[in-house]
Structure 1
Amino acid sequence: MPIELKMPALSPTMEEGTLAKWLVKAGDTVKSGDILAEIETDKATMEFEAVDEGTISEILVAEGSDGVKVGTVIATMSGDDDSAHPGPAKAEAVPPASGSDAKEEAPTKTSTPQAGGTGPKDQGGQSPAPKDAADRVKASPLAKKIAEQAGVDLKTLTGTGPGGRIVKADVEQSRPTLGATQPVPPASGSDAKEVLNQTSTPQAGGAGPQGQGGQSPFTTDIPHERQKLTNIRKTIARRLTESKQQVPHIYLTVDIRLDALLKLRGEINTALADRGVKVSVNDMLVKALALSLLEVPACNVTYTPAEMIQYHRADISVAVSTPSGLITPIVVDAGHKAISAISTEMKVLADKAKAGKLQPHEYVGGTASISNMGMMGIKQFDAVINPPQGMIMAIGAGEQRPYVVDNALAIATVMSATGSFDHRAIDGADGAQLMGAFKRLVEAPLGLVA
C-alpha cells in the first residue's frame, strides 16, 4: 500500500508553506532520516525528513509551488513490499506554470484524442480552451481578472497553459493595447517577477496617470517589477499590522553614555582573544536588557484579555535582518548567561537565521525584544512590539555629542534607546523604571559581569 507524504507543520504557526525544492525524484530509494525536500515556512526554510523507508513513487506537488496547505499529499512512496511489485507508471508532476498557474497543485491530464483524428484544434494548431464539468472555461485566476476588467470573453480564447488552460499572456495577446490602457491586478505565482514596462495614459484634463475617480492605477510609466511575497514577509506584515492595530504603544526614550561600556568591551575582548571570542556592543546590551527585566518584573509580562502573565526569566528576542526579512532568534535566560556565552550563541543564531535554518524552538517565544539599528547610522527610532511580548527596546547609534559629565559640558559617546511598551500591561511609571535600570547598567557596565 503506498505511503502518503504530506506537507508537514514545521512550526507552531504554520498553516501553509512553499515547497521550495525537492531533493529526491520518482524512483529514488530513501530511508528514515533522509532529507526529502526544503520547505519554506512562515519563519524559515526547513528540511523535510523521511520517517519511513521505501521508494518514491510519484511527486504530486512540484517544487516552487506556494500556498500548499499543511496536510496536503505532496508525494507518494512505496514501502519495501510495494517496491517489489511496482504498479503502473504514474504521470510526472507538472512544473510550476507561468503566471498565477504556479499555485495549481495537481497536474492536468492530457485530453483523449478523438476517433479518426487528434482532437479539435483551431487553425493555429492549438487546442481550444477546455471546459470543466460545469462547462466553464478553464483559466487561471489572474487571466480571469484581467479578462473581466478588459471585457474579454474567455470562451473566444485558446489557452496555451498546461492542458490548454488560459493564462495571463493569452488574454493580453487578444487585446494588443490591453497592457497599455488597463491597470494590471497584483500578480500571483511566477508572474510576480515579471517586469512591467507599461505606460498609463493620462486622462484629459488630469494631472497624471489617474482615473476619473482620482485613484492611481497599479502601474505607472516608471519601469518596475513585481516580486512575490515570501511566507516570512507575509507573516511580518500580518503580525506587525495586528500589533499596531491592537496594541496601544507608549514610547519612552533615554540618552545613555557609552564610554565606560566601550572601554569594558575592549578589555573583555583582549582577555578573550585567545579563545576566539569577540563580544559586540549588542551582546552587552542584550545582557543589560535581560537584567533590567529581572529588576523590573512588571515589564517582563504578556497581556491577555483574561489575565496577565509575568515571567521569572528573561528570554531576549534579538532582531536579525535576513534576505527574506526580519526574524528574532532568542537568547534564552540571557540574564544568567555570561556576556561571552551570549556572544557565542548570537553568532550561531544569526548565521542560522540568515541561512533560513532556524528551528522553531530558536525563534518561538521570548519575553521581550531588542532591535539595534545603530550600526546603520540611525540615531533614534520607535520599534513595533512583537506580540505577545509586552515591550521592545530600540537602540540607536552611539555618536559623539555634547554631554554633561561631572556637572560640566563635555564631549561623550552617547546613544538614544527607546522602549516601546504595551500600555495595556505596562504603566508609564513601570516603563520609566525599566529605562532607568537599563541606562544605569549600560553607564556602569561592571554590573553586567558581576
Structure 2
Amino acid sequence: MSIELKMPALSPTMEEGTLAKWLVKEGDTVASGDILAEIETDKATMEFEAVDEGTIAKILVAEGSDGVKVGTPIAILAGEGEEISAAAPAPKAEAAPPPKVEEPKIEPAAPASGGGETPSAPPAAATSTPKADASNRIKASPLARRLAEAQGIDLSTLKGSGPGGRIVRADLGKAAGGAMSAPAPTSTAAPAGLQSVETELAFTDGVPHEAIKLSNMRKTIARRLTESKQQIPHIYLTLEARLDALLKLRGELNAGLANRGVKLSVNDMLIKALALALVEVPECNVSFAGDQLIKYHRADISVAVSIPNGLITPIIAGAEDKSLSKISTEMQDLAGRAKEGKLQPHEYQGGTASLSNMGMFGIKHFEAVINPPQAMIMAIGAGEKRPYVIDDSLQIATVMSATGSFDHRAIDGADGARLMKAFKELIESPLGLVA
C-alpha cells in the first residue's frame, strides 16, 4: 500500500520549511534510515530520513520549494511489492496544476491585445488582464510597474532607458508628458501604498541592484527581533572591565592544555563568567511569561555565532558547572556545525541568557537585542590598551566594555546592575572561573 511522505516538523516551533534538495529520485528504492531529502528550517538545514521501505513512486514537491507547510504531502512511497503505477493515483492530490494551466491560456491572448487591432471584444476587466501580462514580460523596475499601474500606463508602449532597456520611473515621466516628477507623490497615495513606493524609491529607480530572496532563517530573524524591540522594554547597563588578569590566566592555562589539543579563547572564559554571575544573581536568570515569571535553576548560555545565512545561537547548557576546557571543546564543535547547518534543534533552541561578542571586529561598544523568551543578553566589545586609573595612579590597562540588555518587565535595574557587577568581578579576578 502506498504511503504519503509528509513535510516533517523538525523542531517544536517549525510551521513550514524549504525543501532544499531531494537526495532520491522517482523509481529509487529506499530503506528505513535512508536520507531522502535536505530540509531547510528557520535555523538549519536538516536531513529527512525514511521510516519505511519501498520505492519512490512520485515526488510531489520540487526541490527548492519554500513555504511548504508541515504535514503537506511531498512524495508517494510505494510499498514493497507494489507496482509504482499502482501508487500513481495517489499523486492526483497534485491535481492542483489545472488552475495554473488556465493562466498560460491567457498569455496567447496578450499579444493580440498588444497588437492594438482587436480591441472590439475587450471589456474594462479584459483590458487590465492583458496589460498585467504584458508588463510581466517587460523589463521594468518594481517602482515603474507600480506607478504605471496606478496611472493606467501600458508598459508595452514604452522604451526603457535603464540598464539593458529596463523601464524606470523617468520613462513613465516621458510617457506622461514630462509631468511625472510632480504627480509621483499624488499617485503613490493610490491603493498601491505610499510607504512601499517611498521605500522602493531608495534603490530601484534606475540604480543597478539585485533582489535577494530571504532565507527562512533571515525571515525568522527579522520577525523575532522586530517583535523583541516592539514588545520588550529594553534597559541597557554598561560597564568597563580590565582584562589583564584574565588574559594572563588564559595564557597560563593554554600552556598547560597544549598537550590536550585545547586552546581557550577569551569568549570561552566570558561564557563561564556570565553563567556564574547568573547563578550568583538568579533574579536575572529568568523569562517573562505573561502573568508568570519563570526562574531557571541552571545557566544555559546561548552564544551568538555568525553564519553565511544570518545568525544562530548554539547553547552551552549548564555552563556554570563545566570546566573551561569543556566549554571550549563544546563551543568549537557547535560553532563548526552551526556554519555547516548541521545543528539539531535542541542545540540552538532554548537557553536562559545570551552572550554576543563583537570584539574580534574591533567594535568597542554596542547594545544587543534580547532574544525572546530570554530576558537578558550580554554584549561584549573589543579589549584595547588605554590609560586607566589603577590604585589612584594612571596606568595602561587592557579594558573592554560590557553592556547588558535586560527585559525591564522581568528584571529590575538594580538586579541588572548586580549581575553586571558580579560579571566584572569574575573578569578582573578570574581565578573564580577555575575554582
TM-score by length of 2: 0.81
Kept after mapping to 2: 8 A contact 1:303/1:388: yes
Gaps of at least 5 residues in structure 1 are 94-104, 113-125, 132-150, 158-167, 186-194
Deviation string 1:183-217 (CA, Å, 9 cap, x unpaired) is 489xxxxxxxxx99653229668889953458536
Deviation string 1:79-133 (CA, Å, 9 cap, x unpaired) is 11324x742768999xxxxxxxxxxx87736999xxxxxxxxxxxxx854499xx
Kept after mapping to 1: 8 A contact 2:386/2:397: yes
Separation in 1, partners of 2:210, 2:341: 25
Q: Structure 1 residues 178, 422: CA separation in 2 closer, same or farther (over 3 Å shift)?
A: closer
Separation in 1, partners of 2:317, 2:332: 14
Shift of 1:291: 0.2
Give the corresponding residue for 2:136.
Answer: 172
Q: Secondary structure at the match of 1:394?
A: strand
Deviation string 1:393-434 (CA, Å, 9 cap, x unpaired) is 000001111111121111111000000001011000000000
Give the corresponding residue for 1:211.
Answer: 185
Shift of 1:304: 1.3
Separation in 2, partners of 1:178, 1:312: 55
Alignment of 1:424-443 (within 5 A): 424-443=409-428
237, 251, 265: which is aligned to 1:266? 251
Separation in 1, partners of 2:147, 2:51: 45
- What amino acid does structure 1 have at the position aligned with 2:168? T
Give the corresponding residue for 2:400.
Answer: 415
Give the corresponding residue for 2:266.
Answer: 281
Q: Which structure features the higher share of helix residues?
A: 2
222, 237, 252: which is aligned to 1:252? 237
Q: Structure 1 residues 36, 169: CA separation in 2 closer, same or farther (over 3 Å shift)?
A: farther
Give the corresponding residue for 1:32.
Answer: 32
Give the corresponding residue for 2:371.
Answer: 386
Q: Structure 1 residues 429, 205: CA separation in 2 closer, same or farther (over 3 Å shift)?
A: farther
Q: Structure 1 residues 210, 434: CA separation in 2 closer, same or farther (over 3 Å shift)?
A: farther
Separation in 2, partners of 1:178, 1:269: 57
Separation in 2, partners of 1:184, 1:228: 23
Separation in 2, partners of 1:37, 1:283: 35
Deviation string 1:362-413 (CA, Å, 9 cap, x unpaired) is 0111000000001011100000001111100000001111111121111111
Q: Structure 1 residues 111, 265: CA separation in 2 closer, same or farther (over 3 Å shift)?
A: closer
Kept after mapping to 1: 8 A contact 2:2/2:87: no
Give the corresponding residue for 1:340.
Answer: 325
C-alpha RMSD of matched pairs (Å): 3.2
Give the corresponding residue for 1:2.
Answer: 2
Separation in 1, partners of 2:432, 2:182: 61
Separation in 2, partners of 1:329, 1:287: 15
Give the corresponding residue for 1:182.
Answer: 145
Alignment of 1:113-124 (within 5 A): none
* % identity of equivalent residues: 65
Separation in 1, partners of 2:100, 2:126: 25
Q: Structure 1 residues 179, 294: CA separation in 2 closer, same or farther (over 3 Å shift)?
A: closer
Kept after mapping to 2: 8 A contact 1:200/1:220: yes
210, 214, 223: which is aligned to 1:225? 210
Gaps of at least 5 residues in structure 2 are 110-124, 149-163, 189-193
Kept after mapping to 2: 8 A contact 1:44/1:357: yes
Q: Structure 1 residues 56, 303: CA separation in 2 closer, same or farther (over 3 Å shift)?
A: same
Separation in 2, partners of 1:180, 1:426: 46
Kept after mapping to 2: 8 A contact 1:17/1:40: yes
Kept after mapping to 2: 8 A contact 1:197/1:222: no
Separation in 1, partners of 2:397, 2:253: 21
Give the corresponding residue for 1:161.
Answer: none
Q: Secondary structure at the match of 1:224?
A: coil
TM-score by length of 1: 0.79
The number of aligned residues is 387
Kept after mapping to 2: 8 A contact 1:152/1:171: no
Give the corresponding residue for 1:87.
Answer: 86
Q: Structure 1 residues 217, 254: CA separation in 2 closer, same or farther (over 3 Å shift)?
A: closer
Give the corresponding residue for 2:169.
Answer: 200
